[in-house]
Structure 1
Amino acid sequence: MRTLTFAPLWRRICLPVALTILGQSALALDTVQITVLGGDSDLERTLKAASLVQTAKDDGEADPRDVMAAALAEYGRLTEVLYANGYYGGVIRIRVDGREAGRIPVFNLPAQISAIEITVDPGAPFTFGTARVAPVPPGTKLPDGFRSGERAESTQIQAAADAAHLAWRQAGHPKADLTRQSLTADHRDHTLSADLQFSPGPKARFGRMTQTTDSAVRAERIARIAGFPTGQTYSPEALDKVVNRLRRTGAFSSVSVTEAERLNSDDTLDVGLALADEKPRRFGFGAELSSLEGIGLSAYWMHRNLFGGAERFRVEGEITGIAGQNSGTDYRLGARLEQPATFGPDTTAFGYVNAAYEDEPAYISRSIDLGAGMTRIFSDTLSGEIAVGLHYSDITDVFGDRDFFQLTLPIGLTWDRRNDLLDATSGTFLRAEVAPFLSLNGGGSGARAFADARAYRGLGAGDRFVLAGRVQAGTVYSDDVQDIPPEYLFFSGGGNSVRGQPYQSLGIPEGMSGLRGGRSYLALSTELRASITDTIGVVAFADAGHVSDDSLFGGDGDWHAGAGLGLRYKTPIGPLRLDVAGPISGDTGDGVQVYLGIGQAF
C-alpha cells in the first residue's frame, strides 16, 4: 500500500521541472517513437496527444536544450495522463539516443539529439475503494464517476472537490475550503481510496459593493443598474446577475467583481467592482441584394452613455427596394432612447419614434409611430416588453386613399436559447407579440398577433451538419378589413418568408386585378447546413407560405413554396449569405431568384 501526495486539487496534478541548461544548437529532432504496452488504443492516443516531445518534433525544435527540457518534463506530463485515466502503477522510460533521459547530465548535453523513444507500461487500472467528500450540503450531486468500484480517474477526484466547493458556495458559504485530502493507492488489489474533508466556514450575507475604478457612468447609476443585494444571503448566482446587468447596458467593455479575502466581523462579505468603459459611440451598416427586390442598405449610429447614466440612444435608417422589379423604393428612419434600471435593476424604460415611406407591390404607405414602454429581463433567456404608442399612416391601395390614426398597445415576449446569435448550431428561439389597436379617427379597432419560432440541432462530429427549422404565424382581427392598415396585414414571398417566390406576391385578390394582404399567415422553412471548411459552408433549403382571408386561418387562402441552394462564408460579423432559389408550387412566380446578405436566413 502506498500513500500518494497530490498537489492541491485547485491546480492540475503535475511534476514541475526547473532546468538551467547550457549547450549549443543542433539539427532538428528526427524521430519520436511512443510505445504503450497493454493494447489500450484510447490511452495510447491520449498519451501521444499530450506528449511534449512529440510537440517539440512537430514544431521542428532543434536546440538540444529545449528538446531535453521537453524530455525531462515528459515524465510528469505522462504521469498526469496516466493518473487522469486511473493508472497509478505505471512505468515510464524515455531514452534520448539510447540513454535514459533522467540520467543525462544537464550540464553536459549532446551536441545533437536525433531520436527519442518513449515506452509506457501503464500497469493495471485502479478503481475507487473509498470515495468520500464530507461534509457536503444536502442535495449535493457528486460526479457519477466518483464512487466505489468506478475507475479511479484523478479528474473525478478534482470534479468531486469542485462540486462540493460550488455546493457550499451556493448554500451561502463563500469561504468553504478543502482542508484535508487523503489519497491512498493499494497496489495489491489496485484500488485508490480518496477521502476529502471540507470546512464550509460561516454562512455569509452580502456586505458592501465598492467601485474600485473610475467610469464615465455616474456612480449612483452604476449602483442602481447593478442592484447589489446588500444584506441578502451570499450566492454566486447573485454576483453573476450583478455582472450581467452591467454588461448588457453596453456601456462597459469589462466588468469584474472581486470577493474580499475575509468576512467582516458580522459575517458579511464585501465585494469590489472594477469597470472599463466601452467607447461611447458606435456606428454600423448592412446591405442585402435580391434579384427581384433590389438592393437594401441600412446604417445606424449609437451612443452608449448619452447623459452619463448608461442611456443608450440609437438612430437608424434603411433604404430598400433600390432598383427593385416589382415595387418602389422604401425609406425608414427611426430613433430609440433606453434608460436601464428605471424601475428596478432588471427593467429598462424606452421611448421611440419611427417614420417610413413604403412603396410596396400592393400599397403605398406614409407612416409615423411614436411611443414609450419598458423591457423586463426575467432571466438570461427570457425577456418581455410592453409599450403604448400612436400610429398614423396615409395609405393608397385597392380601397383608394385612406388614413389611420390609432392608439396601440404592443406586448411581446422573447425566449432565446440559441448558442450563437449570429450562427446558431443548437437551441431554440421564440418571439411572440400581440398588439391591440384602437382607432382615434372614427375607424374600427382590433388586434394583431404574430409568432416566430426557430430550432437548431447539430449533427455529426463538431456540428458539421446543422438542421434548422422555422415557423412564422400571424393573425389580425377587426370587424372590417378596411379598418386594418395594410402594413398590419400579411403577404408571403421574398427573402424573409418564401425564397424563390417574388416579394409579397401571395396575398388576397381584390376586385378585378387588385391585391391586398390576408388576415392570417403561416410560413414554414427548413435548412440543412453543411460545413465544408472552417469558413465555407453550403445550405439546402425549402420554404412554404400560406395566406388566408380570415382571422385564425379561416376563409379562402392559398399556398406557395420555393426551394434552392446556398453558399455561406463565415466572418466575425456573421456568415455572408448567397441563396439561389426557384418556385416549386403555386402560381405567384417563375424563374430563379438570387439573395445576397449578411447572416443566416434565420
Structure 2
Amino acid sequence: MTRSTAARRRWGRWQWLTAGVLVLLIVAPATAGVRLTVEGAPDFLADNIRAHIDTRVGLTSRLAVRFYRDQVRSQVRQALEALGYYEADADIRITPVRGDWALAVRVTPGPRLSWRRVDVALTGPGRDDPAFRQLLEALPIRPDQGVNHRDYERSKRALRNLARQRGYFDYRFTTVRLAVNAAQGWADARITMESGPRYRLGAVRFSDAPLRDEFLQRLVPFKAGAPYHADRIAELSRRLLDSGYFADATVDVLRDKPQGRRIPLAVTLTTRPRNTVTTGIGFSTDEGPRGQLGFTRHYINNRGHRLESGLRLSPVRQRLDARYEIPLGDPLNDHLAVTAGWENEDIEDSRSERYTLGLSRRQSFRSGWVRTQSLRLLEERFRSGEDRGRSRLLMPGISFSRTRSRGGVDPYRGDAQRYAIEASARDLGSDVDIARLRLANNWLRSLGTRHRFQLRADLGAIATNAFARTPTSLRFFAGGDQSVRGFAYRSLGPIGADGEVTGGRYLATGSAEYSYAVAADWRAAVFVDGGNAFDHLDAVDVEVGTGVGVRWQSPVGPLRLDFAWGVSRDQPPFRLHLSLGPPF
C-alpha cells in the first residue's frame, strides 16, 4: 500500500465521520420545543405565515438552529408571496428561553400586489351552459383585488370540477398564464378552457337481484340520453337505498367504455335480508307501558310487493294490523296499499272495538307534500258515555300532509301539517251519513342555540244526521300528552247525563311552548295549552293547562317530562306527562 493510498483512505474516513456528525446534529431527537410569535402583519397574513412554518422540529445545536432559520425564511417568503406581498421584509430571530426555543417573526408587509387583468374564458359547447356562466361570474379573482394565489388555483380547480360534474370529460386548458410584476405591483391572470362536448347518461345495468330489471329501471331517476350530471348518479344511489330493498348500492360510471357520447352505468346491489322482525317497548302517560312486535317481508315477488304487519299492546289499547303494498309507476313515491286491522280501546269513559279493511294510494311530491286517497270499510262496536251501538261505514277520504325538519331526531326547526276529510253515506251502504274534517299544524323555530319556540293547533269537525251512532274512533276528545296537558288522556269533551265524557262533534286545541338549553342535551320548558272538544259552536268550554317541563336528548331519542296543572278548574288537577319521540 502506498502512502498516498493510505492518506486517501484516512481522508475518506474523516469525510464519512464529518457527514455523520452533521446528520446527528440536524436530525437528532428533539430536546426543546419551538414557540412561534408573528408581529407586524395583519391577522389574515399572520395566520398564513403560521400555517406555512413547521414548528414540529427538534433543535439540539446552533448548527441545527442555523439550518432551521434558513428553512423558516423560505417558508415565510412563500406565505407572503402567496397572498401578494412580494416586497415584504421579515426579521427572524431564534433564541433559547427556559429550555425551549422562541421563534419571533417580525414582518414589514410592504405594498400588496393587485390583479391588473383577469381573463377567464370558456370555449366550446360549454360556453352556452348556464352553470358555467354562473361560475365565471362567481370566481374569486377579479381586477383591482389583492392577489391571492390560492384563489387563482381555486378558480382553475372550480372549472375542472364543474366540467367533470356536468359531463365535459374531454375538457382541456388551452391557456394557463400567470404574470407577476412585483416592482410595479400588479399581476395578470389568463385562463382559457376548452370544454369539449358534453356526454350523456347511457343505459343502467344492474347486478343480479331478486327483482325484475323492468322494476329496477323504474327506480332510475333519468332516461337514457339525459345530459350527464354527477347529481343524477347520487340520486340514483339514494333512491335505490331509500326503496328499502337493498342494504347497499354502488354505482360505477364506466367512462372508459363510452357508447358514442353516452356513459353507461353499472350498479352493484346488495339485497337486504328478505324478512325483518322488530320489537320495541315504550311508555307514555297517555297509554302507560306498551310493547310492539313487527314483521316485514321486504319483497314478496320480483315486482317489489311488500308485506308489513304489527302487533301493539298497552293497558288501554291493543292493535293488530297488516299492510300489503304494491309499488306503482314511481316505486319510491307512488304506492297502492291494501290494509286490514283490528283494534280495541278502553280509555276513560269510552270503549271501542273495530275492524277495518282499506285500500289507499299514497303519492309523494317534490314539494314535500304527500297525498293519500283512501277507501276504508269500518265496522265498530262502541260505548261512549250513554251512547252505545254498532256501526258499519264505507268511507272514502283524502288527506294532505307534509313534515319538514332540520336537526335529526331532535329538530331545532321544522313544521308539520296534516289536513284530512272522510265521509260516509247511507246511499252507499253505510249506517250513518258522516263527513269528518281534521286540520292539524305544528310549528317549531329556534333563536340561536338556546331559545326554542313551538306552536301547535288542532281543529276538527263532524257533520252527521245521527251523532249517537257515530263510532267512538271518529269522535273528538281532548286532554293528554299531545293535547291539553294537565288533564288525563281523552278526559275532556261533552259530558253526558251519566257524568261521562261522550266525545264531541268539534275540536279546537292549541299550545304554545318555550324551552331554553340549560346544558348539553338538556332543556327546560314552560308551556300553556288550551281548548276542548264540544258539541255546539256557541257552547265552547275552554280548558287551560300550564306547567313546566324537562327535555332530554337521550340515547334512544328525545324524552319529554312535563309537570302540568289544569288551571281552568277551581281545584286545578295535577298531571305528570312523560313521552318519548320527536316533536312531530
Shorter-normalised TM-score: what interval? 0.7 to 0.9
Distance 1:381 1:82 in 2: 50
Aligned letter for 1:452? A
Number of the residue aligned with 1:452: 440
Distance 1:233 1:23 in 2: 56
Number of the residue aligned with 1:417: 404
Q: Are 1:208 and 2:203 matched, yes or no? A: yes
Q: Are 1:562 and 2:545 matched, yes or no? A: yes
Number of the residue aligned with 1:334: 321
Distance 1:72 1:455 in 2: 62
Distance 1:400 1:302 in 2: 39
Q: Are 1:538 and 2:523 matched, yes or no? A: yes
Number of the residue aligned with 2:299: 305
The match for 2:494 among 478, 492, 508 is: 508
Q: CA deviation at 1:342?
A: 4.9
Q: Are 1:547 and 2:532 matched, yes or no? A: yes
The match for 1:590 among 548, 551, 572 is: 572
The match for 1:33 among 22, 33, 36 is: 36
Aligned-residue sequence identity (percent) comes to 19
Number of the residue aligned with 2:12: none
Q: CA deviation at 1:491?
A: 1.6
The match for 2:283 among 279, 283, 288 is: 288
Distance 1:299 1:178 in 2: 61
Number of the residue aligned with 2:563: 581
Distance 1:525 1:90 in 2: 64
Number of the residue aligned with 1:407: 394
Q: Is the 8 A contact 1:259 1:272 kept in 2?
A: yes
Q: Aligned with 2:492: secondary structure?
A: coil
Q: Is the 8 A contact 1:538 1:565 kept in 2?
A: no
Distance 1:77 1:520 in 2: 76
Q: Aligned with 2:218: secondary structure?
A: helix
Distance 1:288 1:82 in 2: 63
Bigger radius of gyration among the two: 2
Q: Aligned with 2:578: secondary structure?
A: strand
Q: How many residues align?
A: 548
Per the normalisation by structure 2, the TM-score is 0.77
User: In the TM superposition, what whole-angstrom CA distance separates every residue of 1:23-50 from its partner, at most 9, and x where no partner exists?
Assistant: 56555x655333253343x6656876x6
Residue 207 to residue 538, structure 1, CA distance change in 2 (3 Å): same
More helix by share: 2
Distance 1:526 1:229 in 2: 48
Aligned letter for 1:491? F
Q: Is the 8 A contact 1:422 1:573 kept in 2?
A: no
User: In the TM superposition, what whole-angstrom CA distance separates every residue of 1:169-199 from its partner, at most 9, and x where no partner exists?
Assistant: 7877566566644444554575554444333
Q: CA deviation at 1:311?
A: 4.2
Q: Aligned with 1:242: secondary structure?
A: helix
Aligned letter for 2:550? L
Moved more, 556-565 or 340-349: 340-349
Moved more, 301-310 or 370-379: 301-310
Distance 1:78 1:349 in 2: 68
The match for 1:221 among 207, 215, 218 is: 215
User: In the TM superposition, what whole-angstrom CA distance separates every residue of 1:259-306 from its partner, at most 9, and x where no partner exists?
Assistant: 33258454222222233334442524141232x753333343334334
Number of the residue aligned with 1:273: 267
Distance 1:265 1:400 in 2: 73
Number of the residue aligned with 1:317: 311
Distance 2:581 2:91 in 1: 53
Q: Is the 8 A contact 1:428 1:455 kept in 2?
A: yes
Distance 1:279 1:75 in 2: 62
Q: CA deviation at 1:506?
A: 2.0
Q: CA deviation at 1:88?
A: 7.3
Q: Is the 8 A contact 1:286 1:598 kept in 2?
A: no
Q: CA deviation at 1:502?
A: 1.9
Distance 2:240 2:104 in 1: 52
Q: Aligned with 1:201: secondary structure?
A: coil
User: In the TM superposition, what whole-angstrom CA distance separates every residue of 1:454-496 from its partner, at most 9, and x where no partner exists?
Assistant: 3333332xx3443333333333333442343222222221111
Q: Is the 8 A contact 2:277 2:296 kept in 1?
A: yes
Q: Aligned with 1:487: secondary structure?
A: helix
Q: CA deviation at 1:331?
A: 0.9
- Note the residue ranges of structure 1 that are not aligned, 5 or more in a row: 1-20, 65-69, 100-111, 323-328
Residue 113 to residue 556, structure 1, CA distance change in 2 (3 Å): same
Per the normalisation by structure 1, the TM-score is 0.75
Number of the residue aligned with 1:3: none
Aligned letter for 1:35? V
User: In the TM superposition, what whole-angstrom CA distance separates every residue of 1:107-165 from its partner, at most 9, and x where no partner exists?
Assistant: xxxxx994463637493566554455433434743438554445655675577667666
User: In the TM superposition, what whole-angstrom CA distance separates every residue of 1:536-561 from its partner, at most 9, and x where no partner exists?
Assistant: 2113131423235468xx33222223
Equivalent residues in 2 for 1:162-241, closer than 5 Å: 173=168, 180-185=175-180, 187=182, 193-211=188-206, 213-241=207-235
Q: Aligned with 2:501: secondary structure?
A: strand
Distance 2:193 2:492 in 1: 68
Aligned letter for 1:473? L
Q: Aligned with 2:406: secondary structure?
A: coil
Distance 1:592 1:45 in 2: 59
Q: Are 1:472 and 2:458 matched, yes or no? A: yes
Distance 1:587 1:521 in 2: 19
Residue 442 to residue 275, structure 1, CA distance change in 2 (3 Å): closer
Q: Is the 8 A contact 1:331 1:356 kept in 2?
A: yes
Distance 2:338 2:73 in 1: 65
Distance 1:511 1:529 in 2: 41
